[in-house]
Structures are given as C-alpha cells and as structure tokens.
A and B are shown apart, each in its own frame.
Chain A
Amino acid sequence: MKILVAIKRVVDYNVRVQVKPDGSGVATDGVKMSINPFDEIAIEEALRIKEQGKADEVVVVTIGSNDSQQQLRTAMAMGADRAILVESAGPVQPLQAAQVLLKVIEDEQPGLVITGKQAIDDDNNQTPQMLATLWNRPQATFASKVEFVGDNQLQVTREVDAGLETIQVELPAVVSTDLRLNEPRFVKLPDIMKAKKKPLDVKTMGDVLPDAQGVAIEVIQHESPQPRQKGVMVESVDELIEILKDKGLVS
C-alpha cells in the first residue's frame, strides 16, 4: 500500500506573527518557515506504518510556492520516499486544495491519505474533510491513535470535546492528525544528504487542476486582536481573594 501525506509550509509555530500596519496581511519576510506541526505528525505516522510493514511507500505532497521544496526535502529526510510539489503563485483555499489533492490521488492511487487536522496559519480545519468528501471515502479526523484491523480497515481514536471517540473506517480513507498521535522524529544530518537525491516532482496548479471549481472567500482586511487591559500584580493570597470577592467571583 502507498500512503500519501499532504503537508503545508507555514510560519513556524514559535513565531509571534504581526499584522502589517496597512492591514494587508501578516509580516512573513525573513520569518522562519516550517512544516505545519500537525503535518509533521502525519509524516511520522505514515513512516511508522511503513516501518510496521503495512505500507511500502510514503509520498508527500504540498501545494505552495517554490520555496515549499525545503519542507518537502525535510519530509524526505524524515524518511518519505518521494515528493510532489504542486506549485501555485498565491494562497489556495481548502476546497481548491482538496480538488488538487484529489487529482494527485487519482494519479497515485494511495490506500491511505494522512494530513494534519489544520494548518496553523489559516486555522481552517477543512481540507482533509473536503478531500474525503470529493473522493467519496471515509474520514477519521483529529486522530490520536491509528490501528489496523486486518489489511483494509482502520480503528481510529479521535480527540473530541467529550473525550476520546473510536470509529472504524474502511480503506482507502483520509486521516487527519491531532497532536497526541505521535512525536515526530528528529532529522539526522546524513538523512538530509540522502534526501537531496530523492525524487521531487514539480507540477503547476494549472497543469494539475485546469478547471478548479468554486470561488475563493475574499479576505478584506487583517487586524491585530484587541489587547486585554493591563492587569495588576498582587503580593499575597489575601489580596487576591479580596479582589475576587470584590468582583463577586467567589463568596
């Protein structure tokens, strides 16, 4: 079985992003870029499944600028076998991303697609579900545990508001990862060298999806969130309790 992992290049999660003064976007010049943390977990999960002998190839795909090749190389240094970049000039919204990924699926015929539950730039949390829908296949979102039941079913534990939900899905399926699924491995220097020789196929959006359906949501303005009012520091528990009582928060 082949596993397809969809990843995205995003501003590193440690960066505190700033809105540009003119409200046209967030400042990304010179900012550290990384693989979306949820996608890194998706790559790790695919590699572990392969290492268990349940898959024979892990292919990573991304839609993005040419610079996204860096993140694909990192994914291959982690252990992915090959990579596909679908190059796009501007941002791509979830419904169109899902259509591109569906085309890649039609070419690659994976038995399983794993991807992060959301990208930490747009925080949309849509693409995996949309892909599963267009592909007409099951989804197991927010996964914290993935286990095979025989060769063509997965039992997936999902992180839901009420606790942990378990569902069973037939393959092929789309799994979206939550943070506790695994801890991604560190990349070692020799692997970075090896990854440079692995195949990276570059395609364009226009070639892959000449007839994109649906319109993009228009982004009119970016702004900084409202700052909270400056608080006070107290010196003792007594002072703290007094404030809470004054506010009627404790009796």
Chain B
Amino acid sequence: MSKVLILAEHNGSQINQSTAKVLTAAKQLNADAIDVVLFAGDAALASQVASLNGVNAVKFVQCADNHDQLAASIAPTVAELGKDYTHVWGPSTTFGKDVMPRVAALLGVNQVSDVMEVIDATTFKRPIYAGNAIITVKTDTAQIVATVRTASFAAEKAMDGSAAINESNLENAASHTTYVSLSSGNSDRPDLQTASKVISGGRGVGSEENFKIVYDLADKIGAATGASRAAVDAGYVPNDMQVGQTGKIIAPDLYMCFGISGAIQHLTGIKDAGTIVAINKDADAPIFEVADVGLVGDLFKIIPEMMEKL
C-alpha cells in the first residue's frame, strides 16, 4: 500500500533527468500511486513532469525569486504534503542532498541516503565508505524519506503520461536565505551526468591549456568531459567536471580517462560505467585494476594518435 511523493529537479527550463531516474526507482516499490511535487517559476515545467509515464499527479508549487532552489523555502511544503505518503523520495544530486534531509527532519525520521537498490518497500541497499561496502537497511517509519543514487537507475523514457496538475503558490518562503547567483562552466558538450560517453583528464594532463586535447578528443567522439579532483583543485577545469565521491557519480557506456591514478574516491564515481578505458604512463596505477581496457603510455602521444585514427 505504498504511495510515493517524488521531489522534481529542474534548471529553470528543463526537468532534470534525475527526476525520471527517481521515478524508475519508485516504480520498484509497487506503489499504488506515484505523485511528483515540482517547485518552479515556470508552469511549462509541470507539463513536462505530467507526461512522464507512471506519474499519477503533479503538485506544481509556483515560486518567485528563485525560492524553488532554496532548501529552507521548499522543505516545509514537501514535508507537509509528504504526510499523505509512505515514501518521500528525491534524487541524490546536490539539489536533493540539500533539501531531503530537511524534509526528513521535519517528518522526524532518519533518511536513507543514496538508495542503489530497492529490495522491497522497506528494505534498500546503499553504499558507505565511498562504495567500499554496501549495506542493506530496513526502516518502516510512517514516511520513508530517501535520496536515490541516480547512476543506479535508468531514466524512465516513456513520455506518454497525462497526470493531473494541481497548482498552488509557495507558502513559508524563507526570509533568512536569498539566492544570489549561479555560475556554470557552461559548455556545448553533452551533460556529464547523462552522457553515454565521457572523456576525463586528471593531474597528469598538467595544465588548463593542455586540457584542450582532452576536449578535442571528446568533441571528436561526441563525449562529455570529466576530471579528477586533483585536476579541479589545480584549476585546470571547473568544479562541475569533478567525478567521484564528492563530485558526480556517473554511469556512461564508455568512460575513458587520461592521467588519472584511480584513487578510491574517484572510482566511486565510475563503477557503474559500461566500459572503462584507462590511459596512464604508470603501469602500476590502480586505475588499471578496474579498467576494462588499459593502455600504458604518455597521454600527450596517445591522444594525438587517437585524433588521427578515429
């Protein structure tokens, strides 16, 4: 007798794929109904959600002044609506991670973070220790609040739904928090979190200028670009390219990385990738322990050769 409420995510003009992934996970609960709550300024987003296959109703909460991005503003409404549901779920993206624990606290429950497998409506698997261990957890509180590890679930693709849309306006917008701005590393390349191919560079790439050959190769094969923390910390690339425990957790069909050693925190981000290809000049680099295809060599020779031959 499960009833699920999903928190939708968007960027102002597009519903984030994380929403369709949480929907896939929610369907595994064998729920009687799956509703979605959407906080946004633009009503067009509500129809995008309404067309997702399997959504019963969309609770569209109109927000002004970017309050739809502020956890303190939206969590009270999610929690209030959530009282009518058995499961209140969001994505394990930075947006979901910010909001959902507030919802859990308001509902008086601990949250199940990063659900990677649904066993039944009250039993789940999730990673701990950067994915070095997987735990099975059980909880049967009146509401089960969880975030869903998006790399573990394929996005619901069917857009044949026609859910009812209920509109309301945001109440309780926080007065103590204001949204100021968002700066994106904006690129025309595919989105790192949803791309089927990703090319990444690490500290071995050596500089911001050198990253150009990584971007060129990515463009050649239509891949998104990623990086290790070391490359971000060194200022070679923007933070939104970081893959790993504290960056993005991704599951592309192809992950090809150059000059990345393979620290456990990085591997956490790619373990669901289809094929991992590693190029590193050090034959003992730990990345080769997880790579499906490994090539020992200098990336500054290998990338140009690949550009020529692809």
Contact = CB atoms under 8 A, between A and B. Distances in A.
Most chain A beta-carbon contacts within 10 A, residue among B70, B105, B136, B265? B105
A117 B113 CA distance: 13
A206 B134 CA distance: 31
Most chain A beta-carbon contacts within 10 A, residue among B11, B109, B110, B294? B110
A7 interface: no
Interface string A25-49: 0100000000000000000000000
A154 B97 CA distance: 21
Nearest to B72: A138
Given A122-B128, A224-B134, A247 B275 contact: yes
Interface string A210-226: 00011111111111110
A228 B277 CA distance: 13
B72 A94 contact: no
Given A141-B97, A163-B239, A241-B306, A214 B109 contact: yes
A137 interface: yes
A92 to B, nearest CB: 10
Nearest to B290: A228
Contacts of B182: 160, 162-166
A179 interface: yes
Interface string A138-168: 1101101000000000010011111111111
Contacts of A233: 288, 293-296
Given A16-B264, A126-B104, A167-B70, A222 B135 contact: yes
B132 A137 contact: no
A17 B176 contact: no
Contacts of A158: 94
Contacts of A213: 108
Interface residues of B, number: 85
A243 interface: yes
Given A221-B136, A240-B277, A244-B254, A126 B110 contact: yes
A158 B94 CA distance: 10
Contact of B110 (A16, A95, A155): A95
A189 interface: no
Contacts of A239: 295
Given A139-B71, A155-B180, A162-B240, A229 B248 contact: no
Interface stretch (B23-31, B137-145, B159-167, B202-210): B137-145
B127 A123 contact: yes
Nearest to A19: B133
A157 to B, nearest CB: 9
B174 interface: yes
Contacts of A93: 110
Interface string A224-251: 1100110111111111110110010110
Given A98-B105, A218-B137, A238 B309 contact: yes
Contacts of A125: 97, 101, 113
A179 B72 contact: no
Contacts of A178: 246
Interface string B202-246: 000000000000000000010000000100110000111000011
B137 A124 contact: no
A165 B132 CA distance: 30
Interface string A102-130: 00000000000000010011111111111
A180 B246 CA distance: 11
A5 to B, nearest CB: 19
Contacts of B110: 93-96, 126, 214-217
Given A155-B180, A216-B110, A222-B134, A160 B129 contact: no
A240 B176 contact: no
B181 A166 contact: yes
A249 B274 CA distance: 10
Interface string B52-89: 00000000000000000111100100000000000000
A127 to B, nearest CB: 8
A132 interface: yes
A38 B79 CA distance: 28
Interface in B290-310: 290-296, 302, 305-306, 309-310
Given A161-B240, A231-B276, 7 more contacts: A126-B111, A129-B105, A138-B72, A141-B71, A162-B182, A167-B177, A237-B305
Interface of B: 11, 69-72, 75, 93-95, 97-102, 104-106, 108-114, 123, 127-139, 141, 174, 176-186, 193, 197, 221, 229, 232-233, 238-240, 245-246, 248, 253-254, 264-265, 271, 275-277, 288, 290-296, 302, 305-306, 309-310
13 contacts: A17-B132, A18-B132, A124-B113, A125-B101, A129-B101, A139-B71, A158-B94, A161-B93, A161-B240, A162-B182, A164-B182, A165-B179, A244-B293
